[in-house]
Amino acid sequence: MKLIIESLSKSFGKKEVLENVDYVFEEGIVYALLGRNGSGKTTLFSLISEQIKKDKGKVFLEEDGVKNEINFKDVFFMVAEPNLPKFLTGREFIKFFIEANKDRIKDKKPIEDYFKIVDFDINDIDILIQGYSTGMKNKLQMLMFLILRPKVILMDEPLTSLDVVVQFEMKKIIRKIHKEHIIIFSTHILQLAKDICDNIVLLHNKNLQKVDESIKNDKDFEDKIITLLTTSDDSIKVLDKNFKDLEDEYESLS
């Protein structure tokens, strides 16, 4: 199975965020999507999951050699700050979610078993979601994709709000299920990208760019990624210019 992006472009007003992006993501590989703030990671995920309209280009899913335009039902987009119904309990919400998606769930389990997978405190499942921490809400989101097992899983900064124990559990779960899915994981935490992902893809200069796999084992891994994310970036030129101005100013004073 492959997720194929062809000539994808998106602008907001005059700001072009993605320009003719072509990329192929494959099943069984966990991808880390790295990019600077505002580079377009969330925009890319929103386009793939059809939450916003493309200006140009298409996204396909290829299965057994047959290529079709992607259906939003094949994609689960896990956001950093989930918007869940506040006045339901965790149990009520997951029960409703299972009922609403019953035709798509292959391997149905008792509800409490699902909560156990993400190490959700059983005493908390009957309190209202409005009382949940961000980490607890994120565990509910994880449950949603573990119940649905969609073909494509997009995770926008997913583990940041989880405590280290749950992060570790989630890393294990992602590694366990990754063979049957296409998983793309956006993060600013380079160590996480290195730990959990097979391939690193940069979103930089409005386009996607594969990072050579050997970089992951390089002792200067973080420096190299930063260099790649700052090449031909105007902000760095501005920074350099400011330092030059300061140096000149300093020299004229001394």
Ligand X SMILES: Nc1ncnc2c1ncn2[C@@H]1O[C@H](COP(=O)(O)OP(=O)(O)OP(=O)(O)O)[C@@H](O)[C@H]1O
94 near ligand X, judged by CB under 6 A:
no
Site of tokens 């994609």: 75
17 near ligand X, judged by CB under 6 A:
yes
Are the beta carbons of 114 and 141 closer than 8 angstroms? no
40 near ligand X, judged by CB under 6 A:
yes
**Angle made by CA atoms 148, 153, 158, in degrees to the nearest 5:** 105
Among 3, 35, 141, 204, binds ligand X (CB under 6 A): 35
41 near ligand X, judged by CB under 6 A:
yes
Distance CA 143, CA 216 (A): 30
Query: Which residue in 242, 205, 192 sits closest to 36, CA to CA?
Result: 205
Among 5, 8, 30, 43, binds ligand X (CB under 6 A): 43
12 near ligand X, judged by CB under 6 A:
yes
| 3-class secondary-structure state, position 1 | coil
158 near ligand X, judged by CB under 6 A:
no
Q: Which two tokens stand for residue 230?
A: 């700052």
Residue closer to ligand X (CB basis): 40 or 158: 40
Residue closer to ligand X (CB basis): 37 or 214: 37
Distance CA 75, CA 49 (A): 6
Distance CA 119, CA 136 (A): 10
Segment contacting ligand X by CB under 6 A, of 30-38, 53-61, 211-219, 232-240? 30-38
| 3-class secondary-structure state, position 55 | coil
229 near ligand X, judged by CB under 6 A:
no
Q: Which two tokens stand for residue 192?
A: 């996480």
Smallest separation, CB 9 to ligand X (Å): 13
144 near ligand X, judged by CB under 6 A:
no
Among 30, 32, 42, 138, binds ligand X (CB under 6 A): 42
Residues that bind ligand X (CB under 6 A): 12, 15, 17, 35, 37-43
